[in-house]
Every structure is written in structure tokens, then in C-alpha cells.
Amino acid sequence: METFKKLKDYFWPYKRFFLLSLLFLFLLTVITVIYPIILQQTIDSVVFKNRYELIPYISGVFLFLMIIKGFATFYHQYLGDLFGITAVYKLRDGLYHKLQKLSFSYYDNAKTGDIMSRLTADVEGFRFFLSFGFAELLRIILLITISLGVMFYFSVPLALVTMAAMPFLTIVVFQFDKRVHPAFRKIRKSFGKLNTRVQENISGMHTVKSLSREDFEIDRFSHSNNDYKQNYLNTSFIWSKYFPLMEFIGNFCAVALLAYGGFLVINDKLSLGALVAFFSLVWYIVGPLMNLGFVINQFSQAKASAERLLEILEAKENIVETKQAINQPIQGHVTFKNVTLTYATDNDPALKDISFNVTPGKSIGLIGSTGAGKTSITQLITRFYEPDTGEVLIDQIPVSGFQLKTLRQAIGFVLQEPFLFSATIRENIAYGDPNASEEQIIDAAKRSQAHDFIMNMPNRYNTMLGERGMGLSGGQKQRIAIARAICINPKILVLDDATSAVDMETEFKIQQALREVMKGRTSFIIAHRISSLKHADEILVLEGGRVIERGTHEFLINNKGAYQRIYEIQYQDKDEIMKRPHA
Amino acid sequence: MSKEQQTKEKHNHLQRFYYTQDQVIEKPFNWQQMRRLLIYLKPYSKNYLPAAMLAMLISTLIRLIVPILIGKVAIDIVISNKNITMLTYLVLGIIVLYLINYLANVFRIKWVNMLGQNVIYDIRQHLFSHVQRLSHRFFDSRSAGSILVRIMNDINSLQELFTNGIINLLMDIVTLIGIIVILFVLSPKLALAIMIILPLMFYLTTKLRRKIRRSWQQVRIQQSRMNSHLNEALQGMRITQSFSQELENAEYFHGVNSDNFESWREATRKSAMFRPFVEMSNALGTIILISYGAHLILLGPENGGIGIGTFVSFAFFIGMFWDPISRLGQMYNQMLMAMAASERIFEFLDERPNVKEKENAYAFTDIEGQVEFDKVSFSYDEKRVALQEISLTIEAGETVALVGHTGSGKSTIANLISRFYDPVKGSVKMDGHDLRNVRLDSLRQKISIVLQDTFIFSGTIMENIRFGRPNATDDEVRQAAKFVGADDFINRMANGYETEVEERGNILSAGERQLLSFARALLADPRIIILDEATASIDTETEIKIQSALAKLLKKRTAIIIAHRLSTIRKADKIFVLENGRIIESGNHEELVQKQGKYYGLIKSQFQMLDVI
């Protein structure tokens, strides 16, 4: 209950839907139980007493009640559903807002698939419980209580005989639920495995075909396929074991009713009409009882779902804007003072004692092998993470002193793998500034060498990208990503390995574009290729989170260090090629 | 502000992202397609299918008989005659019937599921195996996701049809006809009166249900749009935060979420009307029963009326009408969905591989690895020519580099050597054998391809390397890894060769992945190795480490290298420079540099960036 209490804000404001729905539920349950009583009256008062004139009244009352029941049924269901969908509507908005605010360190440890399943399956589980589960539990209790009441009113001994088998039914129901749910979980799990198997196979089809491993793959697939089938069958065997048994117990109650009830009627201790009414009432008890296990299980599942949702809603926001945060235009003076950064407590520091100072408009090159800490530096500037010790300053103010929007709008990011959204090229370029004018967008595209190929596409700037859109080459995507960064006219530009995935010629073009773009902006260039960062005002060579060498290109190529080594490999043939006289 | 802009403003919150709308999920009934689906039942037509049907018939009959026994027999004959002995016999008889019913149900559920799950297994196995055999052209034009959906979701939507669907269809028809027959036998007059509600019920199931179904489809469409966005938003979260677009996205989501809420509310409203209408039609039946039935009872059986027992039986049977009718309506829905799913499944099954193996294809046994292109032309689609009359020879054991811009045809040559495609004109030969005459698996066993992006299958490192040759022993796998220098980093991992890895996992760096793929290729022990941009995404330091592994891998094999980096190209025995699908230059590095042609220009541009400054 504690869990649900924490989520109260999302559903309690709509309690009126729920309470009204309950009111209608009560009404409709009462009317349901009236049906067998009408049957009994028809038989006992009309038929046996030959009072046919009562029929119109009985029919009239019945019709009236049924109409009320119709309305009650409608409103009970509709309001109950409305309660659930309104609550999850608010909940989804809340979750989305929260997810937007969670910092990079949260996403480092979270898997998209896992968050997605919380946003879909768990939200749905929670809704189902609000809309249906809780009310259903009440309905079962109500229906059973009222039906039992009527039965005992008609005949106490008969009610006792009829109900004798109920405890057994309850036991079977709970046994069944205990066994069937783990079995269902196994089905889902094996389905997930089968899904992964197929997904991998298709994504890796090139590899499969190259190694002609089709038969091997079919074999592996049939293994998973069979596993799924077996799990499904096991569940249906549980079903076949318990479900007919429940039905049999219910039927047995009816037979007991017939035997003892018939005996009572023969001995004139019970009216025939009451006996007939009993036959309906029995199923009002047996039916809900068979469902009880399901509903209770629903409750525990909804609780688990709610807990998983709370985990998101209560996740710590590591990066919080302070109240005093300022909104002052950024010039682009970046300073690191003895910065150390650790991503997770047990890990080795990703950055150790990093210091540098870049005045506005200057550029810094970062080079080093994977994991050396290049990207970490840039992510501290945007305050995606916060340093353990040391200071990250922009214009001599700690980055945490700026409003997040002010800070990040001043920094243009281009990543190695450009992520573009399912929107038009225009909207992708204007992603950071949805109000950008047509001129700004085209200008950004021109400066990133993207304008020409965009104009060659059938729909030009309206070309759709993403799942529904055109396939672009890696170089084209990268140029759009660069245009997107330029479009916000940032004071600071971060190029994180932006050109490593494109071919030489494209890189050449992009490099030229970038050099133009970098003018007047503080730039951070992360690259593996010397050519990309050679012109930086200062180059930091990183290894294991430390700066092992720093200086200008001219200095570093003769410093007999790592930089020189890399340079020599990449340019070993340069002299030979360049010295050749032009033909 | 122009009018167009105004409308755009108005729907701004929904114009930020665009996602594929779900396709219609149902299709009209198509008998031919249904027949094709039913073929999958054939293997079980002598065991599960008839057994399940028999069990179903038995339990249906018992369900129909008992109300007569309780109503007509018990009340009219036994109780009115106050015969306790008969009552005892009757009760015992019903218990026996219920026991039989119990057993029949146990086996029905078992057999029905055996039938359905086996059929689903078969269809899925069939489709998957079929897709495995399809050629690259098939995969070129489809996203992995769309193929996945057919193998998983579309087949799953047939599940209900094949398990309960078919048997229930029969059961419901038997039940309905049974009830009607029994009612007419018991009392034709009353039966006729009650039958009035049947058309009403049918009308409700079809008309109202259709409306409800449509509105739920709307919900599903909205929901899939919402989920597409959520998925994308999560993946692009870093970009969103970099550009501080959190609020703008939240606004978009709010719009999608509201649309979803509205369509859901509408669907709920319609659905909630269903039960009241059904109950009203049931109530109508009951009123007819009460008024007309009571009248008939008063007439007495001797005057063409009925006994109380008959009246009670009727009351039971009216309650039993609804279930089969409702299920038949559902069955119809299911059928329409199955039509859409099976159409999509059959579409894949009707695809034929473009690259076909000849009937009399023979297997390569030992080959040297000499490759020859004889006036080969090729195009991926009609508009774009990929290769134009290419002729080249690669001697066995040679290392050859292919150089040129993106789209010049380098990868196409590699694809044709592995026979992922067949040339449109000309022929590709290996040791003088036209590839079209050779068994595909024997050809591809002789070739290994290392791509820029190595695909890692989820499983252990051991399994991933062994993918190159499934029957390799653990020792052989280790040797291969050691040989290419992957041994070191593997041993450093927590579980060594048994470490679990996966495609999206970040356990392995790009360089490590590449070393794994080298080990994989080595284990396959091919005659020919193709490196397609194999080292492009690796940083220089790592590349140095890989160089020696690469040299070992290429030794004594025919090697075809596609690369941009000069360091990889220059050692090749022969270099082919491609442009627009033609070879415009060939020779070794020295010769080509000497010539100062296209090749020279290409590699020079690599250094030019230094001079531009």
C-alpha cells in the first residue's frame, strides 16, 4: 500500500470517477441477484397459485430493473476505465518530464529496452489494476456475499450443503494461480529469447551468409522455437489440470443442490421456485471464486509495476539547477582547474588532475586511445557530469552557476555517431532552436557542406529522416549533425570524433567546412586523425585520464612522445608523395 | 503570417516528429489464403486434430444434456412424482456425466494446445528457414525490424486461431445448433418466441463490435506512435539534453499523450455500451420466457402447454445462448486479423532467392583461390549501374587492394566474389569455375569477410569466435585467438573465454571486436579473405597492434582489401582504382605513384589537409 500511496498524486485527484464507479457497481450487483428471485417468484407465486395476472407486474419490474442495470453496467465500466486512463495519462506525462531531467549518469546504467518496458508494460499493469483490478475484487466480494445471503434466506440447510465444496474450490483456485503465473513468466522469457535470436540473426545476416552458417542458425533457432513451444505447452498442461477440475467442483455443487434440494422439495420443505433460483445463485458464487486468484495476482503485479515506475520517478537527479543560477551570455572562455572525474564509485577515475585554459575563439585538440578521457572532458563543459574535485569554469564562473539552458545553448555538440530524429531535414537542423528562420537553417547547412546534397533530394529540406525516411550515408548524416550544431550559433563547439566514420574525400570537405565554422568560437576537437586537430591552438594527448603531453602540433611532432609516434604512422608516406613534382 | 504557416502553428505540438502509422491490421476474408493456412494442420490430421474434436464433441453434448436432465427430467418427472429412488439414480447419472465431461475437458485443453503450438512452431520454423535462404537483395530493401515483426508478431497473431479458434468454432456451431434443436423439441411454440432475440444478438455482435474494434484500432495506432516516440526520445536523450530541448519534447509528448487519452476514452465509452446491450437482449429473452412460458405452463402439458421442468430448461438454455454467439463474433475478428498476418507471412514465403543454386551444382573441394572477373556488369537497381564490364584477375595468394570513392563499386566486387549477388552480365570465376555452377556453402566456406563493423552475437566469446567454424574444439578456438593476438585481452576479462558479450553491450572496444572477427575468420581457415574497411573505425594506436595480426591472417591466402588508409593499401601486390563502376588504374603502389594519376591524387588529398593550413 505504501507504494500506491507514493503514486497518489497521479490517481487520487480523480477519485470521483472511482467512487461513482463503485456506487454503480453496488447497484448492478444487487440487481444481478434479483434475477433468480424473479424466476422463483414466477414459479412459486404465478404458476403454482395460478395467478397469471401477476405476470405483467413481474415483467414490468424486471424490465425496469434491467434498464437500470444496463445504465449501471455502463457507468461502472466507463467510469472505472476513465479513472485508470486519466491516471496513467498524468503518470505518463510525469514520467516523460522526469526522464528529460535525469542526467547522463542515469542513462549510462539504464538500458533503453528496460525503460521502455516500464513505460509500456508497467504503466499498462498499473492502469489495469486501477481500472479493473480493485473494482473487480470488490465486485467478487459483493456478489458472493449477497448471493450467499439470499441462499441462506431461502434455506439454511440447502445453502450449507451446496456450499460444502467451496473450500476445495478455493484451494484449487489458489494452487492454480500459484503455478500458472511462473509458467506465464517463463513463456514471456522464452519469447524474449526467441525474439533476440531472430533479431540478432537478421542484423547479423551479412556475417551469417559470409560464413554460410544458415543451417547452423536454423538449428539454433529451432532450439529456441522449441523452447518457446514447450513453455507454452507446459502452461497449457497446468491449465488442463486445474481448469476442468474447478469446473467439476462447480458442477458437483449443482448436483449436490439437485440431490438435497430435490429431496427437500419432494418433502415439501422447499418451494420449487427457490430450488430453481439456487441453480443460478450457485454460479454467482462459483464463477467469481474461479476469478479470485487472478484478481489477487493482479494486485501483486500492479504493486511490482508501481514499484518499477517509482524507481524512475524517484531516481536522483544528479544535475540540478541552483536557484541563483544566472542567465548571462557566454563568451566561451573555458578553464579546467585540477579536475578529477569518476563515473562510478568502484571505477578508476576517468580524468585525473586535468587543467587547461582556453580563451574565447581558440581551439583545443584532444587525442588519445579509446577510454583515455577525451569525451569526459567535453561532457564536463556541458555539465552532463560533475567533477569529483577541481573546477570547470566558463568565463571564470563555475558551470553549475549557469542556468542549464543558457549553458547548453551556448555549446554545439557533434558526436561520432550522429543521431537524427524522425523528422524532416529542416526540423533536424533546427532541433536546438525550433524557431530558427529559413535563412538560418540554410546558412547552417551551407556552412556544413550539406546544402548541395540536400537540394539534390526529391523533397529537399522537407525530406523525411528516421524510420520513415530516406537512407543517408554516414557522411551526409554527419554533415546534418554539424549543421544542427551550427544552427544554434554556439560560442563553444565540440567535435567528438565527428569525421572518423566518413571517407577521405568527405572528411576533407567536412574539415574545410569546420575550419570555417570554428572561426570566432571556442572549439574542442576530438580525433584520431592528426589532420583533424593539427591546427588546434593547443593539443592535449591523453592516456588513462591524464594529460601525458601537451603543446602545439609543431612542438609535439618533435617531442619524441606518443603524438610523434601517431604522426609518423599516419604520415609515413607523406614526404614521398608530396615531394613528387607535379606532372 | 501566411495561411499555411498558421495551420502549421496550430498543430505545432504534433509536427515535431513523424512516425510510421501502423498498417491496417485486418484484411477481408480470403478463402485461398485460409486454405493455405489450413495446410499446416495436415501433419496433425490423424492425431491431435480428430482427438481434440472428439473430446470437444463429448463435453459439448454433456453440457447440452444436463440442463434437460435437471429441468425436464428432474422437475417434471422425478420431483412431481415424488420419487426419491429415481432422484438418486438421476443424481448418480449426472455425476458420471460430469466426470466424463471433466476428463474430456482435460484432454481437450491438452490436445488443442498440442495442435496449435505445433502448428505455430512449424509455420515459424518454415518462415525462418525460408528467410535464411533468401539473398542479399531481399535484406537490402527491408529493415531488420520489419522482418522481425513478421517472424514474431504476425505468427503470434495466428496462435489463437490455431489453438482455440478452430476447435471453438466447431464447438460453438455444435452448441448453437444443439440448443436450437433441443428447444424446438421441448416446445416449438416457446422456442419460436425466444428465437426473436437471436437476430438481435447477431446484430449486436457484428455491428456494435465492429465499431468498438475500429475505435480500439485507433487506440493502437496512437499507442504505437507514442511508443515510437518514447523509444526515439530515450535513444536521443543525450542529443536532446545537449541542445536543451527537454521542454519542447515534453510538449510534443503531451500532445501525443492527449491524443492517446482521447482515443482511449472514446474506445472505452463504446466498449462499455456493449455489455448493457447484450444484457438487455438477454433480459428481453427472459421476459418472453416469463410471460409466454408462464402462460404455457398454465395451459398444462395436456393442452399443448409445457411442464415447469421444460420452463426451467429453457431458462438454463437462454443463459447458454450468449457465449457461443459472442465467441463466433470474436472468431470473425480473429479471422480478419489472421488474414492480414498470413498475407504478410505468405508474402515472405513467396519470395524466391535471387541467387539460386543450380540443381547440378557441385561442391568445391580444394581450391587455390584464384579469382577472375570476366566483363562483369552489375546493378543494384535499374537506375544505378554499380559495375560496368569489369575484367580483372587476382592470382592465388595475392593481396589486392580496391581503391575509390564511396559508391565506386569496391564493395560490389567483394559481394560478387562471395556470390551474394549474381552479375547481370559476364561471369565471376574461381580457379576457372563459374561461381554459378558451384554449391553456395562450399563457396562461402572458402571465403571470410571482415567488415568495418563486426557483428557480435550474444553468447560467450568462445561461441562468437567459433561462429567461424562450429565444429572447432575449444583448443582450436584458443589457438586462433592467440594467433591474431586476441588472447591477451580475452584472458584479462573476468570469465576469459566464457565472458558473455552482446551486440549492444559496451564490454568490447572497437579494436577488440575487430580482433575477434579476425580470430573468427582465421578459424574458418578460408582460401580467400576480404577486408571491407576492416580497420577504418580503429584508432591509430590500436591499428598498430592489429597490423601484425592482420599480416598473419593474410599470409598464404588470397586477400582483397577495401580501404581508405594508405597504410593498409600500400603493401598490396596489386591496386585497382575504381571510379563509377570501372577500373581506371591498376598496378602496385610504386607504379601508380610514379604514374601520378587518379591514385596519386586520391592519396595526396589525404595529406593535403596539412598543407591547406
C-alpha grid cell, residue B174 = 455444435
Query: Is there a contact between B242 and A413 if contact means CB atoms under 8 Å apart?
Result: yes
Q: How many CB pairs under 8 A join A and B?
A: 415
pLDDT confidence band for A384 (50 / 70 / 90): confident
B178 touches chain A (CB under 8 A): no
Please give the pLDDT value at position B584.
Answer: 86
Put simply, whether B388 touches A (Cβ < 8 Å) is: no
The dihedral sign for the CA sequence B8, B9, B14, B15: positive
pLDDT in tens, B587-606: 888 888 788 888 887 777 76
Is there a contact between A433 and B242 (Cβ–Cβ < 8 Å)?
Answer: no
8 A C-beta contact, residue A199 and residue B144: yes
- When pLDDT is averaged across residues B89-98 and rounded to a whole number, the result is 90
Distance from CA of A1 to the nearest CA of B (A): 27
Beta strands per DSSP E along A320-454: 334-341, 351-358, 363-367, 389-394, 397-398, 411-414
Q: Please give, rounded to a whole number of angstroms, the shortest distance from the CA of A471 to a CA of chain B.
A: 11
**Given a cut of 60, is residue B48 above it in pLDDT?**
yes
SS3 B530: strand
Contact residues for A191 (Cβ-Cβ < 8 A; gap 6+): A228, B152
**Are A244 and B106 a contacting pair at CB < 8 A?**
yes
Query: Nearest-CA distance from B11 to chain A in Å?
Result: 14
pLDDT value of residue B2: 42
Cα separation, B169 vs A84, in Å, equals: 34
User: β-strand A538-543 against A363-367: which pairing, if any?
Assistant: parallel
State yes or no: pLDDT of B1 exceeds 80. Answer: no
Strands B574-579 and B399-403: parallel
Separation between Cα atoms, residue B388 and residue A2, nearest integer Å: 72
Is the Cβ pair A85, B143 closer than 8 Å?
no
Which whole number is the average pLDDT over B154-175? 85
Cβ(B574)–Cβ(B394) below 8 Å: yes
- Contact: A501, B95; criterion CB under 8 Å: no
Indicate the residue of A63, A99, A427 with minimum beta-carbon distance to B283. Answer: A63
Lowest mean pLDDT among A26-35, A342-351, A482-491, B16-25: B16-25
Q: Which pLDDT score, from 0 to 100, does residue A176 have?
A: 86
Separation CA A103–CA A502 (nearest Å): 30
Which range, A133-147, A445-459, B138-152, has the best average confidence (pLDDT)?
Answer: A133-147
CA distance A447 to A514: 8
Please give the Cα distance from A379 to B323 (Å, whole number).
62
**pLDDT at B122 (0 to 100):** 93
* pLDDT at residue B8, as a whole number: 40
Could you report the per-residue pLDDT of B110-134, keeping only the tens digit for each? Answer: 999 999 999 999 999 999 988 888 8
SS3 (DSSP) at B366: coil
Confidence label for B538 from pLDDT (cuts 50, 70 and 90): low
Say which range, A261-265, A307-311, A482-486, A510-514, has the weakest mean pLDDT: A510-514
Nearest CA distance, B390 vs chain A (angstrom): 23
| Dist CA A42 CA A274 (whole Å) | 10
> Three-state SS string across B219-268, please?
HHHHHHHHHHHHHHHHHCHHHHHHCCCHHHHHHHHHHHHHHHHHHHHHHH
Cell 486512463 belongs to which residue? A85
Average pLDDT over residues A73-95: 90
Dump pLDDT digits (tens) for B192-203.
Answer: 888 888 888 778
Looking at chain B, the whole-number percentage of residues with pLDDT higher than 70 is: 91
- The helices-and-strands tally (H runs, E runs) of chain B is 26, 12
Among all residues of chain B, which has the CA nearest to that of A512?
A: B609
Cβ atoms of residues B27 and B339 within 8 Å: yes
Residue B558 pairs with which residues in a beta bridge?
A: B528
Alpha-carbon distance B597 to nearest alpha carbon in chain A (angstroms): 9
Minimal CA–CA distance to B526: which of B549, B480, B558?
Answer: B558
Q: CA-CA distance, B551 to B483, in Å (whole number)?
A: 11
Q: What is the pLDDT of residues A304-340, one digit of tens each?
A: 888 888 888 888 888 788 888 888 888 888 888 888 8
Mean pLDDT score, A478-501? 82
Residue B9: pLDDT over 50: no
* Bridge partner list, A341: A351
Determine the pLDDT at residue B424.
87
CA distances from A71 to A23, A29, A142, B204, B431 (A): 12, 13, 19, 17, 83
C-alpha cell of residue B209: 463490435
Distance in angstroms (rounded) separating the CA atoms of residues B364 and B526? 12
Predicted pLDDT of residue B20: 65
Mean pLDDT across B491-498:
80
Chain-centre distance for alpha carbon A161: 52
Which candidate from A69, A201, A574 shows the least CB-CB separation from B607? Answer: A574
Which residues 1-20 on chain B approach chain A with CB closer than 8 angstroms? 16-20
User: Strand A363-367 vs strand A389-394: parallel, antiparallel, or unpaired?
Assistant: unpaired
Count of CB atoms within 10 A of residue A443's CB?
A: 17
* Mean pLDDT to the nearest integer, B353-371: 83
**What is the phi/psi pair of residue A394, to 5°?**
-125, 130
Segment A180-225, tens digit of pLDDT: 888 888 888 888 888 888 888 887 787 777 777 788 888 888 999 9
Asked if the Cβ–Cβ distance from A466 to B609 is below 8 Å, we say no
Q: Is the dihedral of CA A398, A400, A406, A407 positive or negative?
A: positive
- Whole-number pLDDT of residue B39: 92
- Name the more confident of B525 and B25: B525
ipTM over 0.90 threshold: no
Region B3-18: mean pLDDT is 51
Q: Are A434 and A428 in contact (CB under 8 A)?
A: no
Does residue B422 carry a pLDDT above 80? yes
Is the four-CA dihedral A127, A129, A132, A138 of positive or negative sign?
Answer: negative
User: Which of B137-151, B226-240, B389-403 shows the highest mean pLDDT?
Assistant: B389-403
Residue B22's pLDDT is 56
Phi, psi (rounded to 5 degrees) for B388 = -125, 110
Whether B181 has a pLDDT exceeding 60, the answer reads yes
Q: Which of A422, A417, A209 is nearest to B140 (CA)?
A: A209
Q: Which of residues 51-70 of B touch A (CB under 8 A)?
A: 70
B contact test, residue of A201, A279, A421 with most B CBs within 10 A: A421
CB-CB under 8 Å, A371 with B148: no
Tell me: pLDDT of A470 over 60: no
Q: Supply the mean pLDDT for chain B.
A: 81
Mean pLDDT of chain A: 82
Distance CA B559, CA B521 (A): 12
| Angstrom distance (rounded) from CA A430 to CA A487 | 6
The enclosing H or E element of B384 equals: strand B384-394
Contacts of B136 in chain A (CB under 8 A): 206, 209
For residue range A361-382, what is the model confidence (pLDDT) as tens digits? Answer: 888 888 877 767 788 888 888 8
Please count the other Cβ atoms lying within 10 Å of the Cβ belonging to residue B590: 10
> What residues of chain B, 321 to 380, have a C-beta less than 8 Å from chain A?
none
Half-sphere exposure of A241 (CA within 13 A, CB side): 13
A385, A557 contact by CB (below 8 A): no
Average pLDDT (B322-334) is 78
Q: Give tens-digit pLDDT for A407-442.
A: 888 888 887 777 788 888 888 888 888 888 888 888
What is residue B505's predicted lDDT score, i.e. its pLDDT? Answer: 54
Task: Name residues 70-99 of chain B within 8 A of A (Cβ).
Answer: 70, 74-75, 78-79, 82-84, 87-88, 90-91, 94-95, 98-99
Backbone angles phi, psi at A170, to 5 degrees: -60, -45
* Secondary structure (H, E, C), B419-475: CCCCCCEEEEEECCEEHHHECHHHHHCCEEEEECCCCCCCEEHHHHHHCCCCCCCHH
Strand, coil or helix: A79: helix
B438 touches chain A (CB under 8 A): no
Chain B residues touching residue A466 (CB < 8 angstroms):
17-19, 232
Compute CA distances B545 → B398, B497, B515, B532, whole Å. Answer: 23, 20, 10, 19
| Contact criterion met (CB < 8 Å) for B600 and A43 | no
- Please, what's the b/e burial string for B133-171 (b: 16 or more CB within 10 A of its CB; e: otherwise)? bbbbbbbeeeebeebbebbbebbebbbbbbbbbbbbbeb
Q: Compare all CA atoms of chain B with the CA of A371 and give the residue at the minimum distance.
A: B509
pLDDT of residue B3: 40
Beta carbons within 10 angstroms of residue A336's beta carbon: 23
- The alpha carbon dihedral of A75, A77, A79, A80 has a sign of positive
CA–CA min distance A305, chain B (Å): 18
pLDDT exceeds 80 at position A126: yes
Which among B110, B102, B121, B59 is positioned nearest to A236, based on CA atoms?
B110
**Residue B565 confidence (pLDDT):** 67
pLDDT tens readout for residues B244-301? 788 888 888 888 888 889 998 998 898 888 888 888 887 888 888 878 887 887 777 7
Per the CB < 8 Å rule, is A233 touching B117?
yes
Chain A: residue whose CA lies nearest to B80: A266
Tell me the shortest Cα–Cα distance from A148 to chain B, in angstroms. Answer: 20
Task: Specify the pLDDT at position B4.
Answer: 41
Min Cα–Cα distance to chain A from B1, Å: 13
Q: How confident is the model at residue A468 (pLDDT cuts 50, 70, 90)?
A: very low
